[in-house]
Amino acid sequence: MKRLFAFIMIAVLFVSFTACGNKENADNTTEATTANAKFKAGTYEGTAKGYGGDIVATVKLSDEKIEEITVMGDSETDGIGTVAIETLPALMVEKQFTAVDVVSGATVSSNAIIAAVNSALESAGVDVSTLVPVESNDTVKTDETLEYDVVVVGGGGAGMTAAIQLKTAGRNVIIVEKMGMLGGNTVRATGGMNAAETDAQAALGIEDSVETFIEDTMVGGYNVNNKDLVTVMAENSAEAIDWLASIGAALPDVTFSGGATNERIHRPEGGAAVGSFLVDVFSDNIETLGIEVMLNTKATEIIMEDGKVAGIKAESTDANYTINAKAVVLATGGFGANEEMYTKYRPELKGYVTTNTPGATGDGIVMAENIGANLVDIEQIQIHPTVEQTTSIMITEGVRGDGAILVNQSSKRFTDELLTRDVVSADIIKQEGSYAYLIFDQKLRDNLSAIEKYVEYDITVQADSFEELAGLIDTDAATLVDTMNKWNEAVANQNDTEFGRTTGMENDITTGPFYAIKIAPGVHHTMGGVEINTKAEVISSEGNAIPGLFAAGEVTGGVHGANRIGGNAVTDIVVFGRVAAASAIEYTK
């Protein structure tokens, strides 16, 4: 089950339409059309430019109504643009109207879908400006009650991990996911998964230790982290890598990430983006195990009875659900796509682009707080240093980890590129224009397949020489050549005299063609959330475990402190997804 994981591009919308060719339209038009008909019955096609390629809409008309709309767009972002593809056509048919609200976080894909449908209608002679939305009758929702051992709220990486473990242990489990597909924010993960003392490290001759992993994470988080949670994550990281391999998700490549003393970030063979890889494998396992999944279903409340969790309430477009369960695993993610919520804690982040999927709106945190859960580190919100601003694409840490450098508008380096994310972000913001360029070469591209997506979606510029590259990014050629010569000399001598960089210096930048990506910081990860203990039990504001409630992943706080080390999010979701499952298994015996 391979999906294309792309990212939404803010671009000028170019619309073209074919209506299946004039001759084809004539052939498809029914003879029953009358002079009084609202539409010219038939099947029509329209095309619009989406993010990764054309979005094609096929519209079937009867004399009186829009009967059916089908949209194809294989290159739209899985979990974002694909949500718009799944939801907007049905909404347009329901309302007999095309100017529907766009899907939050999927503006370009939504607009492309609307434009493609409009072009198809226009080819049928429809003046879309005259369409009036049909006021739908308020459908009476049914009330349904379901029974499970455990309900997992949220179908991202942590939720899928927990569900697989629970099902394997014989528990009757269901995943409730408010979006139209599984994956959550995990689909956006690109770099890899940190782990220490692994077989992959040993095979590559990399010396590392759990103790160093813990220390790096605590230092990176400015010792705001809960060290007990960090210790659980580090001590269980190698076993988590083994577990992933056992279900078909081996991560044999190992490289550096910012803030790590040693090569520790594990990724798929060839350097592919880790998130899409894991979501594919998790989804395959969920299907094979027969785990029930409810998509497009939003959890609204955690049910409490006699001081214990007893399930959840949820709703879809046509039903209200009471899902009774002995335990609940909360895996709803963070709130990095909810500007209103994150600016409540960090007003200075207003207007920043976000790397998060539209579903990351903090719902689970609110539900847990409503039943008395304690929140920790809620104001700790990370901005990622290397985000392409027109698309919100996060450029993986692996680019810098494999040897790329950052230069400012004057073609000069200004920082150690592999310092922690907050420091590198702050250093970029200090530069003129508050942006920078990532510079790398063909050798790095050949060794890191994640870069192919950046090239495919046209956010890189490419040149055969540094002088030519300088012209493409409108900077001084002589200065860029000097900067690159100094960097390559530093790599040759393994001594960065300018900024003291000591990691990610195995490869120089000498193999043309050469590449640049313009980047600036964007909201990336919310480190705060519900408090958990080392068993992933949710802790109340009174300091006690809430019976039957467990949590894992970005919905929780305490693991990452004031700054998350690149590669630790995937470790967090896998390790604590498994811990939460183990605790729920024990609780439901």
Is residue 197 predicted with pLDDT exceeding 70? yes
505 and 532 in a single domain? The answer is no
Contact 20/35 with Cβ under 8 angstroms?
no
47 and 123 in a single domain? The answer is yes
Indicate whether 28 belongs to any domain: yes
The helix (run of H) or strand (run of E) holding residue 388 is strand 381-388
Contact 125/141 with Cβ under 8 angstroms?
no
168 and 310 in a single domain? The answer is yes
Least confident piece of the model among 133-142, 158-167, 491-500 = 133-142
* 417: nearest Cα among 388, 438, 392, 447: 438
- Rounded Cα gap, residues 293 and 174, in angstroms: 6
**Predicted local distance difference test score (pLDDT) of residue 445:** 96
335 and 443 in a single domain? The answer is no
153 and 86 in a single domain? The answer is no
178 and 306 in a single domain? The answer is yes
Indicate whether 245 belongs to any domain: no
CATH number of the domain to which 106 belongs: 3.90.1010.20
Is residue 255 predicted with pLDDT exceeding 50? yes
**Predicted local distance difference test score (pLDDT) of residue 4:** 35
Which band of pLDDT confidence, cut at 50, 70 and 90, is reported for residue 83?
A: confident
Is residue 109 predicted with pLDDT exceeding 90? no
Is residue 137 predicted with pLDDT exceeding 90? no
* 398: nearest Cα among 440, 335, 428, 365: 440
**Predicted local distance difference test score (pLDDT) of residue 13:** 33
Indicate whether 426 belongs to any domain: yes
- What residues act catalytically? 421
Specify the amino acid at residue 419: L
Using alpha carbons only, how large is the chain's radius of gyration in Å?
25
Burial of residue 210 (CB within 10 Å: 0-12, 13-18, 19+) is: middle
Q: Is 93 helix (H, G, I), strand (E, B) or coil?
A: helix
CATH number of the domain to which 310 belongs: 3.50.50.60
**Predicted local distance difference test score (pLDDT) of residue 30:** 38
160 and 110 in a single domain? The answer is no
Contact 171/346 with Cβ under 8 angstroms?
no
Report the alpha-carbon angle 275-277-283, nearest 5: 100
Better-predicted residue by pLDDT, 576 or 11 = 576
Indicate whether 199 belongs to any domain: no
Q: Is 48 helix (H, G, I), strand (E, B) or coil?
A: strand
- Rounded Cα gap, residues 362 and 486, in angstroms: 45
Can you tell me which residue has the tokens 């089908």? Answer: 70
Indicate whether 204 belongs to any domain: no
What percent of the chain is helix, strand and coil (3-state, nearest 5)? 35, 25, 40
489 and 502 in a single domain? The answer is yes
Q: Is 563 helix (H, G, I), strand (E, B) or coil?
A: coil
pLDDT digits over 333-363, tens only?
Answer: 999 999 999 999 999 999 899 988 888 999 9
Average pLDDT rounded to a whole number, residues 403-432: 96
Whether the link from the prior residue into 513 is cis, omega within 30° of 0, is yes
CB neighbours of 386 closer than 8 A, spacing ≥ 6?
A: 394, 395, 397, 399, 400, 406, 424, 438, 517, 519
CB neighbours of 242 closer than 8 A, spacing ≥ 6?
A: 198, 199
| Domain boundary residue, one of 103, 127, 151 | 127
Is residue 65 predicted with pLDDT exceeding 90? yes
CATH number of the domain to which 504 belongs: 3.90.700.10
User: How far is CA 277 from each of CA 114, 240, 244, 510, 524, rounded to the nearest angstrom?
Assistant: 30, 16, 11, 31, 20
CA 147 centroid distance within chain: 31
- Rounded Cα gap, residues 283 and 161, in angstroms: 10
The C-alpha torsion from 269 through 270 and 275 to 277, rounded to 10°, is: -60
**Predicted local distance difference test score (pLDDT) of residue 87:** 85
490 and 409 in a single domain? The answer is yes
User: How far is CA 17 from each of CA 11, 23, 65, 155, rounded to the nearest angstrom?
Assistant: 18, 14, 21, 37
pLDDT digits over 462-490, tens only?
Answer: 999 999 999 999 999 999 999 999 999 99
Indicate whether 151 belongs to any domain: yes
421 and 340 in a single domain? The answer is no
**Predicted local distance difference test score (pLDDT) of residue 392:** 85
**Predicted local distance difference test score (pLDDT) of residue 36:** 64
| Domain boundary residue, one of 488, 503, 522 | 522
* 277: nearest Cα among 237, 243, 254, 248: 248
CA 566 centroid distance within chain: 14
Q: Is 258 helix (H, G, I), strand (E, B) or coil?
A: coil
pLDDT digits over 216-245, tens only?
Answer: 999 999 999 999 999 999 999 999 999 999
Is residue 18 predicted with pLDDT exceeding 80? no
Least confident piece of the model among 31-35, 287-291, 389-393, 424-428 = 31-35
Q: The domain containing residue 390 runs over which residues?
A: 383-522
84 and 106 in a single domain? The answer is yes
**Predicted local distance difference test score (pLDDT) of residue 77:** 67
Indicate whether 309 belongs to any domain: yes
366 and 515 in a single domain? The answer is no
In 232-343, DSSP assigns E strands to 253-255, 265-267, 292-294, 298-305, 308-315, 319-330
Instruction: Kindly state the tokens that stand for 13.
Output: 């919308």
**Predicted local distance difference test score (pLDDT) of residue 176:** 98
Number of folded domains that form the chain: 3
| Domain boundary residue, one of 490, 522, 554 | 522
pTM (predicted TM-score):
0.79
Indicate whether 8 belongs to any domain: no
